[in-house]
Amino acid sequence: MRVTENALIGLAEKSVSRARERAANASLQMSSGTRVEKPSDDPGSWAAGARARVRTTYSQGRGEAIARSAERLADVDAKMNTIGSALTRAQELTVQLTNGSMSADERRSGAVELRDLMSQISGAEGSIEPNAIDIEVAEGQTARVTPNSDILLHGDGTSVLATLERIASAFEADNPGAARAELDLLEDKNNNIAERRTEVGSRMSTLISADDARIQFELNLEKQRARSLDVDPIAAASELASSSVALEGARRAAEQIIALARQG
């Protein structure tokens, strides 16, 4: 009889121990918010959470590249604005100085201003990245983040700076006819700069859209990670309440079994 009583007491104590462990785990998950802390807790969920973290890290790196590229494009747009403004002024000045009423001194003075505009254009163009740069904006997706390198070239490959040099030289020689002959090329390049600015704006829009998509992608990854590794607050609260009730029941049952055994 004594052996049976000891066995019952042992079973009661084990039941209490299991209930206490269950309640402790439920309390820990509820306080930490984490369901899976190491691979042995749930290998599949741990691997899914690890994949989500790695993909998030790469996505954040893409975000940094997008931000740097957006700054670069904004700088390019500012430089193109400088070039476009200088070309517009050069075009206006050329039209003005080819007028028959202008004097040789006025044309020579205009040539000085033209050379100053050339310096502005050359400085702005020289600070624009000449090489094509593509960055990864999403998994398996890239985007060009630099304009084409021939910003100052005419269709025949000659530079607009050479056109402006010929105009300035014509004015220095008081030869308005030679300067007038360059106006079409100058207008063509001015229009081309406007098109290039539109191109830069389009690439900026692509970056903005890509970054919006990247942010949403990271939010989805965080949801995946949370589903894999974190506790469900409602389920965790329910489990904590249930395990606490089970622990209390196991304790009462154990107390009754021990009391009965001692009476015997």
Q: Is the pLDDT of residue 149 over 90?
A: no
For residues 110-135, average pLDDT: 86
| Domain boundaries, position 171 | 73-230
CATH number of the domain bearing residue 211:
1.20.1330.10
Whether residue 12 lies inside any domain: the answer is: no
Whether residue 99 lies inside any domain: the answer is: yes
Q: Is the pLDDT of residue 113 over 50?
A: yes
Whether residue 3 lies inside any domain: the answer is: no
Whether residue 45 lies inside any domain: the answer is: no
- The average confidence (pLDDT) of the chain is 82
Place of tokens 């690439």: 203
Runs of H (alpha helix) within the chain: 2-32, 43-97, 104-126, 160-172, 176-180, 183-229, 233-263
Structure tokens at 214: 């990247």
Whether residue 243 lies inside any domain: the answer is: no
Task: Give the whole-angstrom CA distance, residue 53 versus residue 62.
Answer: 14
Whether residue 259 lies inside any domain: the answer is: no
Whether residue 64 lies inside any domain: the answer is: no
Against a cut of 0.85, is the pTM above it? no
Whether residue 204 lies inside any domain: the answer is: yes
Q: Is the pLDDT of residue 16 over 80?
A: no
- Which pLDDT score, from 0 to 100, does residue 53 have? 92
Binning pLDDT at 50, 70 and 90, where does residue 157 land?
Answer: low
Query: Based on the structure, what is the number of domains in the chain?
Result: 1
